[in-house]
Amino acid sequence: MKKLPLGIQTFTKLIKDNCLYVDKTRHIAELIQAGDYLFLSRPRRFGKSLLVSTLFEIFSGNKALFQGLSIYDQIEWQSYPVIVIDFNAISSGDEEIFKTSLLSFLDDIAAEYDLKLSKLFVKDKFAELIKKIHDKTGQKVVILVDEYDKPIVNSIEDIDRATKNREILRDFFVVLKSSDAFLRFVFLTGVSKFARVSIFSDLNNLRDITLSPQFATLLGYTQNELESDFAQHIQSLCFKLGIKKAPLLAQIKTWYDGYSWDAKNQVYNPFSILNLFTEQQFDNYWFVSGTPTFLMQLIKKTTYDATVLENKKVSKIVFDSYNLENLNIFALLFQTGYLTLTHIDKTGRTPQYILNYPNLEVKEAFITYLFASFTQNGLEAIQPAAEDLRTYLQTDNLEGFMNLIRALLAKIPYLLHIEQEAYYHSLFYMISVLMGVEIDLEVLTDKGRIDGVLALEDKIYLIEFKYGKAGTKMETLTKQAIKQIQDKNYGERFLNESRPRLLLGIGFVNKKIGYKLITAQ
């Protein structure tokens, strides 16, 4: 088996070390023909840096590296001077540090061409660098920008600093338009489209290919690529785990597939797949590589109902509404990879985009962090508690189930506690996800909406939540919940189910929880 390129982001090293490379060069050849100024947004750990490195070798004319790959005889090979701007390597702690680091970076690039720059300001020096390289080489210059938004993302919790960095970037990138006569190709990539309009407002010839169907599988592994390029690794994992190929592939798909930028083509996260075959066990790899503390804080400020993050319908304008002063949580979750496109509804006057979690890895990990953030329970205790809850349900121990939920909710600090029914819906939803059981909230019937349908292998719970203010009797709430399920005949849609239906009324009063359970007739 070829060596897995885990952690390798340099195309030359990957090829020379004889690592496994999923050939994306057919798409890259199309990318080069798609325009002279391109922008692509993808989540972290999705191969953006490797793509930039590959483009560097192509425009440097290193044809020999691509022998056996699709692009080898697809393009006319020519060598250009290439400037790679990796904002991972540029300090951006504050305004002055950022400017100084950029100036130093530009001087270093100039030194590689035996040039000296005389301009004092970042914008002027960048323009001077491009022109002097063009004049010295007699060739148009290629600009490749990796993680363009890093100076903003790293400062996102300090809006003042992030705004100042944004202004520096705007001055920096505006040079690309005035230098058009000296440029052959410009490609920018990053995690998000933070303030894309303001940063690139003057660069009106920049084409955004983030949602372009043509490049939906440019990064990430398709199902065919997984099964063909990783065939030996799949066989090895089958042997290691003692299962056959078909169920293993189904499990891999559930865990790591599902990312889409056109709602048709789905891809696997490369980082997770490479870790899966390296470690030879299923685990959460992508999510834990970067804890989204800021995201959790923003969600808590935006909504206390985690159920709204699933199957969310938005308009296309959301994908371009990246304003530092008023961040849109759904736009942010989509661009950072926690939500993905699952469907585009074109029946109305304007298309509507459906967002959902891409896979089990992201959903379970995200909900775990969110539950910890909402309730102040320790991360280390949440998953074991979820397993215990599942066991209680499977063994019909409702009292044990409710007692453990009471214990989890008891850790919610007073200031975080919200006396609203939707808040409790959200907490119960998160608990159900963590248990790994099927729960559909707000299931529509012809008589109304069921608060929750929780399906186990051998039984179905029809759940109604009732919230009461301080002083409300718990028994009254739970009886009302059961009566509503019966009166509206919520169990009718499950009449053909062989599994028994249990009616579960749950009451919430001032952080206290009560329940009433009966079997459907």
**275 lies in the same domain as 296:** no
| Same domain, residue pair 350 and 433 | no
**Residues 6+ away with beta carbon under 8 Å from 100:** 91
Residue whose structure tokens are 């009166």: 487
Q: Considering 305, 325, 356, which residue would you say is the last residue of a domain?
A: 356
Amino acid at 315: S
Domain assignment present for residue 5? The answer is no
Report whether 443 contacts 429 (CB < 8 A). Answer: no
Task: Indicate if 402 and 438 belong to the same structural domain.
Answer: yes
Range of the domain at 326: 289-356
Q: CB neighbours of 356 closer than 8 A, spacing ≥ 6?
A: 310, 311, 312, 339, 340, 342
H or E segment to which residue 487 belongs: helix 474-487
At 24, give phi and psi (nearest 5°): -105, 10
Angle between helix 270-279 and 231-241 (nearest 10): 50
pLDDT for position 266: 97
pLDDT range class, residue 442, cuts 50, 70, 90: low
Task: Determine the distance from the C-alpha atom of residue 450 to the mean position of all C-alpha atoms in its chain, rounded to a whole number.
Answer: 30
pLDDT of 406 reads 84
Quote the strand ranges of 158-263, DSSP E: 183-190, 207-208
455: β partners: 438, 460
Position 260: which residue type? S
> What does residue 371 show for φ and ψ, rounded to 5 degrees?
-65, -40
Question: Which residue's entry shows tokens 């951006």?
Answer: 92
* Cα(266)–Cα(261) distance, integer angstroms: 8
Tokens 């148009």: give the residue.
140
| In a domain? residue 56 | yes
Kindly indicate the confidence band of residue 487, based on its pLDDT and cuts at 50, 70 and 90.
confident
Alpha carbon 236 to its chain's center:
29
Judge residue 172's burial from the number of C-beta atoms within 10 Å of its C-beta, 0-12 exposed, 13-18 middle, 19 or more buried: buried
Domain with residue 402: its CATH number is 3.40.1350
What pLDDT is recorded for position 260? 97
pLDDT in tens, 239-289: 999 999 999 999 999 999 999 999 999 999 999 999 999 999 999 998 776
The DSSP string of 317-349 is GGGG---TTS--HHHHHHHTTSSEEEEEE-SSS
**C-alpha separations of 247 from 223, 238, 242, 306, 477 in Å:** 14, 9, 11, 31, 45
pLDDT at 423: 74
pLDDT of residue 304: 56
Assign 317 a pLDDT band (cuts: 50, 70, 90).
Answer: confident
Alpha-carbon torsion angle 506, 511, 512, 516, nearest 10: 0
Given a cut of 50, whether residue 445 has pLDDT beyond it is: no
**Rounded-to-integer distance, Cα 150 and Cα 90, Å:** 9
In tens, the pLDDT along 192-208 reads 775 445 677 777 788 99
Separation between Cα atoms, residue 342 and residue 353, nearest integer Å: 8
Edge-to-edge, what's the strand order for the sheet holding 438-445?
Answer: 438-445, 448-455, 460-468, 501-509, 512-519
251 with 137, same domain: the answer is no
Does residue 367 belong to any structural domain of this protein? no
Give the number of domains in the chain.
Answer: 4
Contact 171, 113 (CB under 8 A): no
Answer yes or no: do 194 and 243 share one domain.
Answer: no
**Structural domain includes residue 349:** yes
- Cα–Cα distance measured from residue 115 to residue 224, given in angstroms and rounded to the nearest whole number: 48
C-alpha 76: how far from chain center: 36
Q: Do 243 and 294 lie in a common domain?
A: no
User: What is the Cα–Cα distance from 306 to 429, expressed in whole angstroms?
Assistant: 8
From 89-103, 174-188, 498-512, the region with the lowest mean pLDDT: 498-512
85 and 121 fall within a common domain: yes
333 in the same domain as 230: no
Is there a single domain that holds both residue 60 and residue 149? yes
Establish if 413 belongs to a structural domain. yes
Residues 30 and 160 in one domain: yes
Please state, as a whole number, how many other Cβ atoms lie within 10 Å of the Cβ of residue 26.
13
Burial profile 342-374: b = 16 or more Cβ within 10 angstroms, e = fewer? beeeeeeeeeebbbbbbbbbbbbbbbbbbbbbb
When the pLDDT of each residue in the chain is averaged and rounded to a whole number, the result is 88
Both 22 and 137 in one domain: the answer is yes
> What pLDDT sits at residue 18?
95
* 362 inside domain: no
- 2 in any annotated domain: no
Residue 366 domain-assigned (yes or no): no
**CA neighbor of 230 nearest in space, from 22, 66, 71:** 22
Query: Could you give the CA distance from residue 291 to residue 300 in angstroms, rounded to a whole number?
Result: 16
Place of tokens 């075959």: 277
Final residue before a domain boundary, out of 234, 249, 283 = 283
Question: Is the pLDDT reported for residue 160 higher than 90?
Answer: no
Helices 245-256 and 270-279, packing angle to 10 deg: 140
The CATH number of the domain where 23 resides is what? 3.40.50
Same domain flag for 329 and 442: no
pLDDT tens digits, one per residue of 108-127: 999 999 999 999 999 999 99
Per-residue pLDDT band for 441 (boundaries 50, 70, 90) equals low
| Contact partners, residue 512, CB within 8 Å, separation at least 6 | 406, 474
In 3-state terms, what secondary structure has residue 30?
helix
Instruction: Count other Cβ atoms within 10 Å, centred on residue 83.
Output: 21
Strand order in the sheet with 207-208: 82-86, 141-146, 183-190, 37-41, 207-208
Rg (CA), the chain: 27
Which of 181, 210, 239 is the C-terminal boundary of a domain?
210
Mean pLDDT confidence for 36-43:
94
